[in-house]
Structure 1
């Protein structure tokens, strides 16, 4: 860990320890090939057009340091969210992610896809290699999730019960195919799809809560939501908090580590200050994801 992260270790561990949890499960963390990550960081450094505001990377560390930081925080399992922005990238990214998962046993083997010929084949291959979660980024990819080239992909994921984290909300800037409509059409065709809506669908919080209430397999992750940074531009409506409580068993902790402009503990404290109770925090920060991914009981 970097010296700056040492005090955070105690803060994070105190948070989950005080809830009686064995640690955290974070379903939205980013690991990807170094040259790809460097381009992502350069985009944030330039306050790119989708963000439009300063975005300092809080955990600008090498790969092993980032893994070690999560372990020191007590994150029992995490993901390697990666995604292509054009055709021809996904199979290569999946190969890298399989190697990363093989050398990082606490990483939930992650894979991705893009609407292109052969997508069904390399998604099937990733599942055969043990992929446990997929990531799709409708905004960055600029594609319609209902593209016929993805019909086989969604079918495979629904049939296998493999969760897929989808950035389909219109934050930080709307895209041609963002919002609940396009992904809702996919769910209408594949109702068994275990969809995890990234960022709680920000800024269309209410509409994506509607989607979750209509589809029992839809979940939402908390990535960057409720934090001071996000509340400035896309505040969560206080009137919707009771719906968060009602969906307690389908909300999962996500953080966007390492690409966050604040410390990891703040994401946890932002959840706590919602005032939804310790049972809700235990479910969101650990139990829901542990059950979804079949994590073994924590050791002594």
Structure 2
């Protein structure tokens, strides 16, 4: 199966969109939490930008951490859930220390830790990160090249469950690329994630991108498991060549988080928000999706 970022689409595989961006969030919205923002040290994020420019999509917001955080907060976003991921052994501690400093500098950022599954001392790395005040863990099956149900993950899942920290794991098959070092479609499947939920019944798991591209399968998991959340990141932006996966928002709206992937975006920072508001989901559902669900998941108080 061809990935969404198949190079046969051209270079870059996906286009930039010159859509209009808002200066601020619309007046009258409930508190908005962007539950999927990537913050990395400068050299790491610059390497990520180069990869995306060549293999993914043009980056509209080439902002380093202080500028990225200030951009969102100045436009009315009340809290940010910040994510990073390691791609080689020995990198996680540096990223976790970096994220802890970001959180210390700006308390409106809820920073997550990372670890490379299978690396020596993974549980200790996470214990140290939680002690530094990080609110959960971020993993990425495509970048870190692991299957969700691989044995090396059990140590990580157990550490998260024991500490009561949620895990955000890119376990859906898309958006994938043939330029990753592994085949995401071979590693990732909704059945593998269900095995994780069965084997670790107290683990709080959030799968980004509404589980793209197995949307129906993740809706079924939402119906079955009270320890699963999904975030909307890029799946509801009307950017990829897919029908908007609306059903997930209707089945368990209290389990859906608004997220963007900022600043690694090829379109306006508020594009996905406009799409979601256009669905007219109702005040209660909007308040949960835009912020309250994320605050409950990550254990934060009112913004």
- Superposition TM-score, scaled by structure 1 size: 0.86
Partner residue, 2:23: 9
Structure 2 contact 130–136 (Cα < 8 Å) conserved: no
Deviations 1:228-284 (A, max 9, x none): 212x2x3334xxx34422311110011000001111221101112334333222110
Partner residue, 1:80: 82
Partner residue, 2:255: 250
Structure 2 contact 253–289 (Cα < 8 Å) conserved: yes
Partner residue, 2:41: 33
Structure 2 contact 136–160 (Cα < 8 Å) conserved: no
> Match for 1:209 among 206, 211, 219?
219
Deviations 1:43-100 (A, max 9, x none): 1111x1xx3xxx2212112332211111112222112211112222222211221122
Q: Does 1:178 align with 2:210?
A: no
Q: Unaligned 5+ residue runs, structure 2? A: 1-17, 177-183
Between 212-221 and 274-283, the greater mean CA deviation after superposition: 274-283
SS of equivalent residue, structure 1 residue 69:
helix
Partner residue, 1:225: 235
Tell me the matched-pair count. Answer: 278
SS of equivalent residue, structure 1 residue 108:
strand
Distance apart, 1:149 and its partner CA: 2.8
Structure 1 contact 257–264 (Cα < 8 Å) conserved: yes
Partner residue, 2:302: 297
Between 106-115 and 143-152, the greater mean CA deviation after superposition: 143-152
Q: Unaligned 5+ residue runs, structure 1? A: none
Structure 1 residue runs of 4 or more that deviate by more than 6 Å after TM superposition: none
SS of equivalent residue, structure 1 residue 135:
strand
> Match for 1:134 among 128, 137, 144?
137
Structure 1 contact 205–236 (Cα < 8 Å) conserved: no
Q: How far apart, CA to CA, are the structure 1 residues paired with 2:152 and 2:236?
A: 35
> Match for 2:120 among 117, 120, 123?
117
Q: How far apart, CA to CA, are the structure 2 residues paired with 1:265 and 1:65?
A: 17
Structure 2 contact 81–112 (Cα < 8 Å) conserved: yes
Distance apart, 1:34 and its partner CA: 0.8
> Match for 1:155 among 129, 143, 158?
158
- Superposition TM-score, scaled by structure 2 size: 0.85
Partner residue, 1:264: 269
Q: How far apart, CA to CA, are the structure 1 residues paired with 2:236 and 2:297?
A: 23
Structure 1 pair 167–106 and aligned structure 2 pair: CA distance change class (3 A): same
Q: How far apart, CA to CA, are the structure 1 residues paired with 2:162 and 2:220?
A: 24
SS of equivalent residue, structure 1 residue 67:
helix
Let me know the Cα RMSD of the aligned residues.
2.1
Structure 1 contact 29–254 (Cα < 8 Å) conserved: yes
Q: How far apart, CA to CA, are the structure 1 residues paired with 2:186 and 2:123?
A: 24
Structure 1 contact 119–150 (Cα < 8 Å) conserved: no
Structure 1 contact 119–149 (Cα < 8 Å) conserved: no
SS of equivalent residue, structure 1 residue 283:
helix
